[in-house]
Chains A and B, each alone.
Chain A
């Protein structure tokens, strides 16, 4: 990154190049280049991209979520993307490699990428893969009415999903009488399903193995805490981060929120993958793919539980 202020000629050239951006964007570019104001880069990026979009009056990228897709949502085609890449290169004075540019799919990708670059961090660019319910049904062994993911996205080691409790799920009839409350076990089941999606989509790519959908099993959780109740009409947002992947085990930490409020969190959510029939036939049972009803509590606190399948034993398969 430049640590020297721009010459008048360089500044004039930048002003000319970005004359179709807002004055605020040009000011942000100059703040970044002259004062090394790292805080200006997101404004630069938003402003540069906005110049290539047909936005409604008052519409701005700053309020758009990281999940906003450059192609489908903003209508940016590959050639416009190249223009944007070259403009950002010129504005921020660094080179964006083609392989990096190709991996940029969302506003979040752009923002994370630029943030990594200006902070001198290694670029952790990962593409976001998004899943609607139809596609989730094709990947997961869980199916309606026992599928608690409406949509999900996988970015690197992260998986994020959401499920809206419609109110017509059968368990509300008995949980509880005259007061429908989402069972805690279902919330952890949903988390497990999000983890299962990550395993089925990422493990084959990362480890180069084939993984049939029914070859993922729930192993256990180290810590689980439930903070509030969810009711029909609530949409739970499930977030998991993979912290360890070594065949045949995958470990996640995660949390569940409703409307930004913490509902539950979990540490050490562990799934096993691979052909586990041998283990089961030897009498060591594992729950099929993250179903938790046997060990989950009903409401409020969730008792920390250990799987009957010892991870050390599994590791020796």
Chain B
């Protein structure tokens, strides 16, 4: 007998807001978090904007110089092994724990863990290795590894919050934190954990964003109000972002026993790989379609019941179309849900994206609205047959999907229901 799983807390450090209230306001008003990012080379034909994270500064590797919003206290002993995205995640965790109403002994409990996803810190890796190779092994910062590697997120959160349950990291690139949420759902529905913090986080630096310019995946539009534009006919690529999102998954009976307020229910999830290419999505979206179909079957939901779909769509030509085809395939012959990509507002958070967008979707269900797909000047005609939300629609969704896809054709679809 599977346990029912609900969301009891959310935490946000994102380009569109550092609190539930700010994020909700940005989603409702379609307020973009994209701005000129001075760290990027400000040259013609070069990406110049990013979904910047406000209220934090990381002027250099000396973590004693880092700053974050005053309402958070991070001890130096915790800080010294953190990367910027772990600082974001720490703050988002504090929010999520507060919203969920979990006491310290419930956070630090064998039945509470964290499913985490980040790409590690490319910045930290670069700087620490550079110093070691240039100045010698004994000049290597002692905490270079825990501060840098993929796994820095789960390692640091486990230590800082004294987590005692299942704590691990996922590495399926841009599907990572969606995978993390799916496996957290499994752990709880199989009664192996009561609470799991699903954490997605990424640095916001040239080191983790600019390499995507190598495959010409980044938008070079310099007007932050016009890019990225998923589903727009003239979209020219994605815009990077960083930050952290935390989704607290909890067994329904645990949440009810605590009297916790419930944000939304997680009904199930599905996953499938394209079996196609290391980077390019399978053009027909066959893999993503299987992930969505599997998710609906696992959740006991028919395609016609889905009201809203938060798309992975990042604003690249190939990716957006592949997803549109996948949606058509899944919902063929029936009602097709409203679709939007909130990445138009936030930018693409890579390993952060899945958890962040699941959190947005949960907020939309709880608050009874559907975020629009912003910055569409002219909808790509190839989207015909799919109701992309270019304008607000006055309807409260009951069931929603959140899609994520990553390198290697990793696809994840999450199913959430209004509580």
Contacts and interface: CB of A to CB of B under 8 A. Distances in A.
B2 interface: no
A79 interface: yes
A236 to B, nearest CB: 41
A79 B64 contact: no
Q: Kindly name the residue among A20, A79, A95 whose own CB sees the greatest number of chain B CB atoms within 10 A.
A: A79
12 contacts: A20-B64, A77-B77, A79-B80, A79-B142, A80-B77, A82-B142, A83-B80, A86-B138, A86-B139, A86-B142, A89-B138, A95-B138
Given A79-B80, A79-B143, A86-B138, 7 more contacts: A20-B64, A79-B77, A80-B77, A82-B142, A83-B80, A86-B139, A89-B138
Contacts of A89: 138
A102 to B, nearest CB: 14
Interface residues of A, number: 9
Nearest to B143: A79
Interface string A215-243: 00000000000000000000000000000
* Chief secondary structure at chain A's binding surface: helix
A95 B139 CA distance: 10
Contacts, number: 15
Interface in B117-160: 138-139, 142-143
Contacts of B77: 77, 79-80
A184 B106 CA distance: 63
A247 to B, nearest CB: 41
Contacts of A20: 64
Contacts of A83: 80, 142
A166 B29 CA distance: 79
B220 to A, nearest CB: 36
B359 to A, nearest CB: 33
Interface string A83-123: 10010010000010000000000000000000000000000
Nearest to B140: A86
Interface string A52-86: 00000000000000000000000001011011001
A266 B217 CA distance: 83
Interface string A182-210: 00000000000000000000000000000
Interface string B62-101: 0010000000000001001000000000000000000000
Interface in B35-85: 64, 77, 80
Nearest to B136: A95
A82 B138 CA distance: 10
A26 B143 CA distance: 25
Q: Kindly name the residue among B64, B77, B80, B138 whose own CB sees the greatest number of chain A CB atoms within 10 A.
A: B138
A20 B62 CA distance: 11
A86 B64 CA distance: 16
A20 B64 CA distance: 9
Nearest to A54: B76
Contacts of B143: 79
Interface in A1-59: 20
A163 to B, nearest CB: 39
A20 B77 CA distance: 16
A159 B143 CA distance: 37
A8 to B, nearest CB: 20
A83 B62 CA distance: 12
Contacts of A77: 77
Nearest to B146: A79
A79 B143 CA distance: 8
Contacts of B80: 79, 83
A101 B77 CA distance: 20
A82 B139 CA distance: 11
Interface string B384-407: 000000000000000000000000
Nearest to A51: B64
A200 B77 CA distance: 40
Contacts of B138: 86, 89, 95
A79 B77 CA distance: 9
Interface string B155-194: 0000000000000000000000000000000000000000
B89 to A, nearest CB: 21
List the 7 closest A-B pairs by CB distance, nearest first. A82-B142, A20-B64, A79-B142, A79-B143, A95-B138, A83-B142, A79-B80
B365 to A, nearest CB: 44
A89 B142 CA distance: 14
A159 to B, nearest CB: 35
B61 to A, nearest CB: 12
Contacts of A86: 138-139, 142
A83 B64 CA distance: 13
